[in-house]
Amino acid sequence: MPPTTIKARGILFDLDGTLISSTTICESVWHKWAEVYPVDLTEVFKSSHGIRTRELLQHWLKITDPIELEAATEKFETDVLKEAQRLASTGKGGITLLPGVEKILLALNTATKDAIKWAIVTSATNAYATNAITTFSLPKTSHLITADEVSQGKPHPEPYIMGAAALGLKPTDCIVFEDAPSGVKAGVASGARVIAVCTSHKRSALEGLGAHLIVEDLSE
């Protein structure tokens, strides 16, 4: 099968599940929280990926007070980072860098001719995203769009519209890389071309959502 070429002036990457993976850690934290809050974890895991933490806690744990919700969001993401650090210190894993990520980001940052602008657009908070990026010493982008900056999270297109604007571009000038159905929907709704990666979901879960291309991971 010949290579597929999709031209763009900007690239918008999702973070968790596309560049890094913390799925098993997040699930571990959910199990601990379920000891306090009555919640159906099977249903949570089916639909939680790619959704902002605050919206997940509001929906599944029925936390509606704004102050309590903000505190719970901060605690949940702090718990994820602590669990990741604990596992990493014992050699049992932790947050992992996904295949092809370092190579593609370094290539984007070192390109001198026809350089393509890029940004990270994540459903995580700024505190979580910044910590994760620093932990892996990911090639730097000057543009990071987080859950704190948008009024509506994925699958609403606002995050990717804002990401494109940060690059001085329209979404139609950009390619979105996403692993979650909610993120694919957000990218498509923004008008960007979307490449879905099967790093956290089966191909069947990403088909029929409007992605222009589906690949196994960024090493392709």
Take residue 183 and report the two structure tokens written for it: 């993120």
Range of the domain at 193: 10-21+96-215
Strands of the sheet containing 193-197, edge to edge, are: 144-145, 117-121, 10-13, 174-178, 193-197, 213-215
Do 16 and 121 fall within a single domain? Answer: yes
The reply to whether 73 and 113 lie within a common domain is no
Coil/strand/helix, residue 193: strand
Q: Is residue 191 part of a domain?
A: yes
14 tagged catalytic: yes
pLDDT of residue 111: 75
Q: Is residue 83 part of a domain?
A: yes
Same domain, yes or no: 139 and 55: no
pLDDT tens per residue, range 124-154: 999 889 888 887 778 778 799 999 999 999 9
Q: Are residues 159 and 84 in the same domain?
A: no
C-alpha to C-alpha distance for 81 and 207, rounded to whole angstroms: 31
Same domain, 122 and 183: yes
In a shared domain, residues 111 and 192 = yes
* Pair 203, 109 in one domain: yes
Residues 123 and 151 in one domain: yes
Q: 108: part of which helix (H) or strand (E)?
A: helix 101-110
Identified catalytic residue from 14, 65, 173, 179: 14
5 found inside a domain: no
Domain boundary among 41, 67, 89: 89
Question: Would residue 1 count as lying in a domain?
Answer: no
Give whichever of 19-23, 28-32, 109-113 has the largest mean pLDDT: 28-32
Assigned domain for 57 exists: yes
Q: Which of 16, 40, 65, 179 is catalytic?
A: 16
- Whether 164 is in a domain gets the answer yes
pLDDT at 112 exceeding the cut of 70: no
* Assigned domain for 3 exists: no
Cα 138 off chain centre by: 14
Which tokens go with 206? 């990403």
Distance CA 172, CA 92 (A): 42
Contact, 190 vs 180, CB < 8 A?
no
DSSP state of 16: B
Q: Are residues 102 and 175 in the same domain?
A: yes
DSSP class of residue 116? Answer: P
Structure confidence at residue 164 (pLDDT): 98
CATH of the domain at 211: 3.40.50.1000
How many domains does the chain fold into? 2
**Is 40 an annotated catalytic residue?**
no
| Structure tokens that stand for 16 in this block | 């968790």
Alpha helices, DSSP H only, in 38-100? 41-47, 53-60, 66-89
Q: What percent of the chain has pLDDT over 90?
A: 66
Is 152 a domain residue?
yes
d(CA 60, CA 85): 26
